[in-house]
Amino acid sequence: MMLPTCDLRKICPQIAFAMTMAVIVFEHYNLEATFTSVCDGKHGPGSLHASGRAFDLRIKDLDGNERDITEADRSKAKQIILDLKNSLGPQYDIVLESDHIHIEYDPK
């Protein structure tokens, strides 16, 4: 699911691919991926969101409870991150933030 505030106008092909892989990984866990930010929102200095090379995924409902982020949410998010890292490879940075999974295309 894509929140209506998500702006996709600048995404690079590598991010479109990563978004597709995120949907597939979430489906593996019988979950729906919720994209909360792509080329929009306020982000820290050096963020790759504005250039279309990053996106965020919601974690607060991974355990079926949409009210709070629980330890079960964080645990499931860690499993999802491992699968995404295996699927996407080293050109992507994937980080568990306080309330979301952040994925960016940042080849070294």
* C-beta of residue 34 within 8 angstroms of C-beta of residue 57: yes
Q: Which two tokens stand for residue 68?
A: 């709070």
Which pTM does this prediction carry?
A: 0.92
Q: Are strands 54-58 and 35-37 parallel, antiparallel or unpaired?
A: antiparallel
The tens-digit pLDDT sequence of the chain (108 residues) is 888 888 888 999 999 999 999 999 999 999 999 999 998 878 787 889 989 999 999 999 898 877 789 899 999 999 999 999 999 999 999 999 999 999 999 998
Q: Where are the domains of the chain?
A: 13-105
Distances in whole angstroms, Cα of residue 69 to Cα of each of 31, 48, 59, 77: 16, 25, 7, 11
Distance CA 58, CA 5 (A): 14
